[in-house]
Amino acid sequence: GENVEQHPSTLSVQEGDSAVIKCTYSDSASNYFPWYKQELGKGPQLIIDIRSNVGEKKDQRIAVTLNKTAKHFSLHITETQPEDSAVYFCAAGLMEYGNKLVFGAGTILRVKS
Amino acid sequence: DGGITQSPKYLFRKEGQNVTLSCEQNLNHDAMYWYRQDPGQGLRLIYYSQIVNDFQKGDIAEGYSVSREKKESFPLTVTSAQKNPTAFYLCASSMDRFKPQHFGDGTRLSIL
């Protein structure tokens, strides 16, 4: 089955700097890669997603890149702000197979002001 | 307001008891999912349902049961067979399997 590894487990950046979180997946059939942000005591919130027919997607300060050959994808946050501090999860899934997502273990992002 | 409602927010269970966690959505979504989250770990899929009256086991279904009698409701029962039930339980829904999943705010289950 699918296995997703996420790095780093914690990341501290200065306000205004960029943050990058990387994930690798094992099943080359996976075709859907969402990223979620989770604040304390809340459910995960979808922040961006990408499908395997696209190499890069951007939404304001957030971007995701996908390298299908290497089976890894990354989240890029530019101009970080204190409100970006949260736990971020990547996931991989095959939509045709019920969209069963396998999640990474999460990255705690701290933005210091 | 459209959304996913999970109740209760906190739940306590005695040893040997079954408990049922509620998940309701008014988004008219066909697909619904249950995940378990343990500290420092990612989410793991317990059960999912693509349509009313049909559901499939996820990666960690043992000790859990579900039903999908109505489109808007997907309750999860944690049975006494689940030996380590203490966790944060998250329900999600999506328009269909080709659309993103959106989550409720979870139920935290603890053993007394």
Contact A31, A2 (CB under 8 A): no
- The DSSP-derived string for B27-90 is S--SEEEEEEE-TTS-EEEEEEEEETTEEEE-TT-TTEEE--SBTTB--EEE-TT-S---EEEE
Confidence band of A58 (pLDDT split at 50, 70, 90): very high
| CA A89 to each of CA A30, A39, B23, B72: distance values in angstroms, whole numbers, following the listed order | 16, 11, 22, 26
Q: Which of A41, A98, A103 shows the shortest C-beta gap to B42?
A: A103
User: Between the ranges A72-81, A98-107, B7-16, where is the mean pLDDT highest?
Assistant: A72-81
Tens-place pLDDT, residues A10-41: 999 999 999 999 999 999 999 999 999 999 98
Confidence band of B40 (pLDDT split at 50, 70, 90): confident
A73 in B contact zone (CB under 8 Å) = no
Q: Is pLDDT above 80 for A97? A: no
- Please give the average per-residue pLDDT across A76-99, as a whole number: 93
User: A8 vs chain B: nearest CA distance in angstroms?
Assistant: 13
A101 in B contact zone (CB under 8 Å) = yes
- Please give the average per-residue pLDDT across A32-59, as a whole number: 95
Work out the burial of residue B59: count CB atoms within 10 Å of its CB; fewer than 13 is exposed, 13-18 middle, 19 or more buried.
Answer: middle
- Please give the average per-residue pLDDT across B19-31, as a whole number: 96
Confidence band of B1 (pLDDT split at 50, 70, 90): low
Q: Which of B6, B40, B103 shows the shortest C-beta gap to A44?
A: B103
